[in-house]
A = this chain, B = another copy of it.
């Protein structure tokens, strides 16, 4: 179990990296974030959460929400139903490429690229009466924070810049791999991405990934074997086109978002969340990755 001191040391060690990355600016609402924010939180399987820096301040979780979506889908569908619609392989391409979808006839490579997450959102739409409401419920419960909300302004801003995601969804539809109204699914998808959570919220919410599927409130979210599989997918596909580099440097399953958050997991031990809005060339938090690397080294722990 890391001490609060260690987390504070790490924060100070990586702070000099601020200014070396680039805040996501494809939508105005994200570009406004204070680029100097920096936080880390760790939740251990005994239920303790510690943190350092801006770890209590909510931020836009963006693609980290894809972990929640897939988790909810795993509770609604047989695995085979999911994997007939989306693959399990790293994409080897920029995270929103249409080339692969065209070459592989409408089936995206994995559920953590945009195309795959849209498939998962389409699956949720088919089974849930009110997917936005349900997602909020799930996330509040997992994080034990009833105050988690959607940032409506971010969701609206994403929707206004949704042409590329619409192109992806229509392309998959043209191959018969999209069942619901594209516009409706996009609106829900952008809400998931617009969840506002802090490092503390996220490290708590992801604890089930470290704890054989059991959440902070001792609920069995998914089975132990499903948890192992989720971690395997995160390890190979969670960091866009930087999964190899992340495994090499950090050695933990993880998922990043363009809001600058990254969650990571040491199975059997702890879930972690870091936040720093500036991104590297692969769209992953630059200082956040460095903080995870330092934590991994300090603890002498990785999955490898």
> What residues of chain A have their CB less than 8 Å away from a CB belonging to chain B?
87-93, 97-100, 102-103, 109-110, 163-164, 166-171, 173-174, 178, 182, 227-229, 231-233, 235-237, 241-245, 247-248, 251, 253, 267, 302-304
A27 to chain B, nearest CB (A): 13
Q: Which residue of B lies closest to A227 (CB)?
A: B304
B88, A248: Cβ atoms under 8 Å?
yes
Q: How many copies does the complex hold?
A: 4
A92, B88: Cβ atoms under 8 Å?
no
State the main secondary structure of chain A at its contact with B: helix
Given A164-B170, A267-B304, the answer on whether A89 and B88 have CB atoms closer than 8 Å is no
Interface-central residue, A229, A243, A253, by most chain B CB under 10 Å: A243
Interface-central residue, A169, A178, A267, A303, by most chain B CB under 10 Å: A303
A97 to chain B, nearest CB (A): 7
A91, B88: Cβ atoms under 8 Å?
no
Which residues of the other chain, B, contact A174 by a CB distance below 8 angstroms? 163-164, 167
